[in-house]
Homo-oligomer: A and B are copies of this chain.
Amino acid sequence: MAAEVETETAQRVKRLERKGIVPGLATVLVGENPASQMYIRLKHSACNRVGIRSENVVLPERSSEEDLIERIMELNGRADVNGILLQLPLPGGLSPQRAMMSILPEKDVDGFHPVNMGALLLGAERLVPCTPRGIIYALERLGKKLEGAEAVIVGHSNVVGKPLAAMLLNRNATVQVCHVFTRDLAEHTRDAEILVVAAGVPALIKKDMVRPGAVVFDVGINRVGDRTVGDVDFEAVKDVASAITPVPGGVGPLTVAMLLSQTVSAAESQAALI
């Protein structure tokens, strides 16, 4: 599915190029977190594959909030930058809130600006967080009927759980959101026709917690020894689920594909305004 989205996105890039527009994504990285550097590289090589021009703005570890916001403002003002992505987490001491707020909402391709989050909650989705968008895309692509479907989300983060809950409600699914404070997790997960797990706990979801035939999305990325594993006991759960995403190689590539797609959407909207 990720490859499919990339192919479609590359075609949209070509259409823009015929109008003389090359979509551009600027990533902003503060400091030298190795995981962040790896994610940034992944995103740039993905841009490269579909013809999006990308650049990386690197600020030193000890940058002030003012420095960061000033750089973002510069990118806001540049016509050749259609999307801006601030790589999280920021180094200690820097709060992401004000920096996020300073990104022009129409260039906020990660969908984290409050005004985009608010539009999402109100059912007028524009740019939205990429992981939830990828999950909705996959469900629709699988032909899963969302209206009336029993969906259970494990994890109530700002990045996945809360926005995904709102997006499923916008499509008239019945939605349960569980998390670390939920008393009997299995009682809830067993209801799920659609189960999305974004808790950050290796093998949290066992076979007996999954309803037969469920579609399971594993958003977890955990290091266990030298392996990367998700939040779902994949080997056991795959026998009861009707579909399940692996870790790595499942939700991750789809999230990146949605970032590309949203960057091109931003470029298309901005081109329509000229």
Task: Name A residues whose Cβ lies closer than 8 Å to a Cβ of B.
Answer: 97, 112-124, 147-148, 150, 156, 158, 161-163, 165-166, 169, 172-179, 181-183, 188
**A177 cross-chain contacts in B, Cβ below 8 A:** 165, 169, 174-176
* Closest residue of B by beta carbon distance from A169: B156
Give the distance to chain B from A131, nearest Cβ to Cβ, in Å.
Answer: 15
* Closest residue of B by beta carbon distance from A166: B162
Alpha-carbon distance A117/B114, docked complex (angstroms)? 8
Give the distance to chain B from A116, nearest Cβ to Cβ, in Å.
Answer: 7
Question: DSSP class of A's interface residues: helix, strand, loop or mixed?
Answer: mixed
Tell me if B178 and A183 are in contact (CB < 8 A).
no
> Quick one: given A115-B118, A118-B117, A156-B169, are A179 and B174 in contact (CB under 8 Å)?
yes
Tell me if A118 and B114 are in contact (CB < 8 A).
yes
Give the distance to chain B from A42, nearest Cβ to Cβ, in Å.
Answer: 25
> Quick one: given A117-B118, A118-B116, are A174 and B169 in contact (CB under 8 Å)?
no
**A174 cross-chain contacts in B, Cβ below 8 A:** 176-179, 181-183, 188
Q: Which of A116, A156, A172, A188 has the most CB of B within 10 A?
A: A156
